[in-house]
Copies of this chain bind each other. A is one copy, B any other.
Amino acid sequence: MSSNPAHRVVFQPSGRQGSVAPGTSLLAAARQLGVDLDSICGGRQTCGKCKVRVEAGTFDKYGIASHPEHLTPAGPAEQAYVARHRDGFPPDTRLGCAACVQGDLLITVPPESQAHRQIIRKSATERPVALDPALRQVLVSVEPHRLGERLGDWERLQEALRREWGLELLRIDLPALRQLGPALAQGKGQVTVVIWSEAEVIEVRPGFQEGLYGLAVDVGSTTIAGHLCDLATGAILATEALMNPQVTFGEDLMSRVSYAMLHDDGLTKLHQAIIGALNKLAGAAAHAAGLRSRDIHELVLVGNTVMHHILLGLDPAPLGAAPFTLATHAPMDLKARDLGLKLHPGANLHLLALEAGHVGSDNVGVLIAEAPDLQDELTLVIDVGTNAEVLLGNREGVLSCSSPTGPAFEGAQIAHGQRAAPGAIERVRIDRASGEPRFRVIGREGWSDELEPGAIGATGICGSGIIEVVAELVLAGILRPDGRFDPEWQPRDGGEATHRVRWQGPRAEYLLATAEQTATGRPIVVTQDDVRNIQLAKGALYAGCKLLMRRRGVERVDRIVLAGAFGSYIDPLRAMVLGLIPDCDLEKVVAVGNAAGDGARIALLSTVRRAESARAARRVQYVETAVDPHFQEEFVGAMHIPHMRDPFPHLAALGMLPEPRAAAPRERRRERRAAVGPSTDER
C-alpha cells in the first residue's frame, strides 16, 4: 500500500478524477468525484448496478498507472454475486460498492452502470437521450421499532432514506403506506422503495427488488399506439397499437366534439371508451413483455387537444368553435387511478403540455423528438393523421398549425381501407406501360408478383398503401392531375385497359388485388371516392404547410420530416408526387414513423426533456387554420395532383411527373369545380 494518505482514481469515460482516502469503495469514490455510477442497493453487493471495469497495467493520459491489485480483494458476498451472474462478469470486473481503493487506479464505468447513460434512438435527427426517468428504486435498511420509541414505520423509513440516500421532504402514497408495515416485517427491515419525482414514495416491497416500467402512449383520433419501456435501461420491451374505440362515435375530431355536445352522456361515453382502450393497451403491452399492468409505474401520454380533454373528462365543446378555448395548456401530473386507469396503484399519469387550438401534446411530442427548433435548416415536420399537425421552423423560431385531414390516411373513408395490421397492403407499384400493379402485404415476405396468388391473403389497404396507390395511378397516367380517372387511358403495352380500370357509366375504379389475391375472395379496388377523399386529405395537409410557409415568408423549405402513427413509414417520393408535401430535394425528405409516440417515450425516459418540452410548447407560435382565410384558399387550390399552382422543380427534375395535358379552357373550368367535390355530370 502506498505511504501516500490518499490515492488517485481516474474514472473513464467521464475523465473525472481525484484523490480519495485509502479504503474508500469505488462507489463512494465515484460519488465524491461526481461520477455517474448507478446503484439500487446502496452498497450492499446485491443489485450489481455499480459494476465497473478495472483497467490493468495501463496509463491514463495523466500518466497514472492502474493496478487491479490496488483494490481490496473480493470477499464472500462479492464472490457469491459473481457466481450468480457469471455471464455479465468478465474477470476484470468488480462491484464498485465492494472494491475499496488501496492505490492509484484507472476505472471504466461501462454504459450499463451509468445511471444517466445515453440511450440512442432512431430518428430523423439522431439525438441521444440521457436516461433520467421520474422514478427511482432504492434499497434501504430501516431501524427496528423499539418499545417506548415513538416513531412510526413511515417516520423510520424517512429517517433511513435521509441517512442512506439523502432523500428528504418525501410524502408517501396511501397504497404504499399500506405496504410498508408488512414489507418491513417480511424483509426484516430491508425494503425496496420506488420514489416518484424525488417527492413521493409510491411502492414499498420487502428486501431487494428490481424492475421499473413505464408506458408512453400516443392517443390519436384513429389509432392508439404505446411503447412499454424498461425505465432502468430505456429499452422498449413491447410496442402495441389498437384502434381508438371512439371512432364509433365519429371519425374525426369535430364529429366527436359534436357527439359530446349533442348527447347528455356523450362525454362520459367517449371518456370511458378511451380509458377502456388505454387499460386494454397497457394490459396487452405488459403481457407481451411478460409483466402485468400493475407493474407499470408511470404513463406518459400525448394526444391532440380533443383527445386530451376527453381523456380527462373535460368538456371538449369549446374546442369545436372559435376561439377554440383550452381548459388548460399546462402539462399535468395526476394519479392514473383517479381516471380509472388500472396500472400500478401509485402510478403517475403525465400529460405533456398542449400548444393551442387543436395542436396538442402529440405535436409537442413531435417537437421534442424531431426538434426543428434546434436545426439550422428550415425544417417542415408533418405529422400525418386524422388530425394532422405541421411544424415549420429552425433555431430562429417554429410555427405550428393543425389540419383537419380526416381519417383517409389511416385507412378510414376508403372503400377497402383498414388499419395497418397483418393483411394490409402497405406498398404499391404500378407498371407505367401495362398499368398492372404489384404490392406488399404486412406480414408477408416479398411482393405480390413473387408469391402464389392464394398465398397473399390481402385484407385491405392501409394508410401508406393508399398514398402509394394513388401516387402510382397518377404516375401511370391512369388518374389525371384533377384526380379523375382518365377515360382515354390505354395500356401502352397493348393490353386490355378494362382489366384494371373498370368503368361503370361515368365512374371508374382500379382493381388493385384480384379475388384470388385476397383473404375474403373479393377483389380490392380503389374507387373514385377513395381518390377524392385522399385529395381532400392531402389538400388540407398541403394547405397547412403552405399557410405556415406564407407566414414565414418562404417559398421553399430545406428539409421535410414525414411522421405518422399509422403502420409503415410514408414513402417520401410518392408523398411528393401526390402533392401531400411541398416540393423539396428528395434527399432531404425523411419518414420517421410515430414521432409523437417517440416524443412521449423521450418524456417518459427523461424528466429533463420532459421539462424542456413544456417550455418548447410555449415557444412555438401557433397559427389557427380554422379561421384563416388563406387556409381555405390554399385548401381549394391544393386539391390537384400534383399541385398546379406551385411548380415542383425537384420532382420535375426527377422526370417523375406526367406530361400535363393541354386542357381546353372549358375543361379547365370543370376541373376546378370538380376539385371541391364530384361534379354533377359524374353522377
Contact = CB atoms under 8 A, between A and B. Distances in A.
Interface in A288-340: 312-315, 317-318, 322-330, 334, 338
A323 B147 CA distance: 4
Given A174-B338, A178-B313, A181-B314, A150 B327 contact: no
Interface in A456-487: none
Interface residues of A, number: 43
A321 to B, nearest CB: 10
A308 to B, nearest CB: 11
Nearest to A309: B181
How many copies altogether? 2
The secondary structure that dominates the A interface is loop
Contacts of A172: 328
Given A147-B624, A150-B622, A327 B174 contact: no
A655 interface: no
Interface stretch (A50-58, A106-114, A151-159): A151-159
Given A149-B323, A356-B150, A174 B313 contact: yes
A325 B150 contact: no
Contacts of A317: 181
Contacts of A334: 174
B177 A328 contact: yes
Interface string A133-154: 0000000000001111111111
A573 B180 CA distance: 47
A15 interface: no
A154 B325 CA distance: 10
B181 A323 contact: no
A182 interface: yes
A290 to B, nearest CB: 28
B627 A327 contact: no
Interface string A187-216: 000000000000000000000000000000
Contacts of A155: 328-330
A153 B313 contact: no
Given A325-B153, A330-B155, A315 B147 contact: no
A609 B525 CA distance: 77
A17 B620 CA distance: 51
A620 B127 CA distance: 58
A153 B328 contact: yes
A180 to B, nearest CB: 6
Contact of A323 (B145, B177, B327): B145
Given A174-B313, A313-B174, A146 B323 contact: yes
Given A178-B313, A315-B178, A154 B330 contact: yes
Contacts of A326: 152-153
Contacts of A174: 312-313, 334, 338
25 contacts: A145-B323, A145-B325, A146-B323, A147-B624, A147-B627, A148-B323, A150-B355, A150-B356, A150-B618, A150-B622, A152-B327, A152-B330, A153-B326, A153-B327, A153-B328, A155-B329, A155-B330, A174-B334, A177-B312, A177-B328, A178-B315, A180-B327, A181-B314, A181-B325, A182-B315
Given A147-B323, A153-B326, 7 more contacts: A150-B329, A150-B622, A151-B329, A152-B330, A177-B312, A181-B325, A182-B315
